[in-house]
Amino acid sequence: MYTLVNGFYKYLTKKEEYCVLILGLDNAGKTTYLEAAKTKFNKNYKGMNPAKITTTVGLNIGQIDIHGVTLVFWDLGGQQELQSLWDKYYQESHGIIYIIDSNDRDRMEDSKKVFDNMIRSDHLSGVPLLLLANKQDLPDVMGVREIKPVFQQAGVMIGRRDCLVMPVSALTGEGVDEGIRWLVDAIKRNSIVRPPREND
């Protein structure tokens, strides 16, 4: 009897699981963004002190539950030598968050090249894209109006997928929940093409 009840309980409580890549150059604020997302959506999660967040070497994994689904985030290191490993995760991903350091004008073209290289992968065809202009809490940063035209040059490669460009501050948390909620809706719309993983 226990097995039957336990099996029924698991069936009722299982959630669809979607994998989301967090990509961008090193120091764009990817890990800070992940921490902000976990803090906003996971009850009682305190989050890391932003001052103690160091450069990601490899991969950070985080998870949140929202709107009856589980999002598993893969925050991949953005250093040049680690970018070649990104494509190992493309095929299993259901969404992409690409984070731009709005305060780093000197590396904007580098970020654009890395973005172009990523978005042209066939393994990411049609996958929803959330493009975030991070560090909007700082003075004199590039706004979305300045950044959007730079990345719109990749319009052909972006194609007809769901795509949103928005300002965000991973440090203050401003814009984090709106972006995540948009991405969940976009991923659900795309689930016919990329069905969720089943999470027991």
Q: Whole-number mean pLDDT of the chain?
A: 88
186 is in an annotated binding site: no
Can you say whether the dihedral through the CA atoms of 110, 175, 45, 88 is positive or negative? Answer: negative
- The DSSP secondary structure of 78-92, one letter per residue, reads -SHHHHTTGGGTGGG
pLDDT of res. 178: 96
70 is in an annotated binding site: no
- Domain limits, the chain: 17-190
Q: What is the pTM of this model?
A: 0.89
pLDDT at 56 over 80: no
141 touches 132 (CB < 8 A):
no
pLDDT in tens, 104-113: 999 999 999 9
32 is in an annotated binding site: no
- Our answer to whether residue 80 is catalytic in this structure is no
What is the Cα–Cα distance from 119 to 64, expressed in whole angstroms? Answer: 25
Identified catalytic residue from 63, 79, 83, 153: 79
- CATH superfamily placement of domain 17-190: P-loop containing nucleotide triphosphate hydrolases (3.40.50.300)
pLDDT interval class at 11 (50, 70, 90)? low
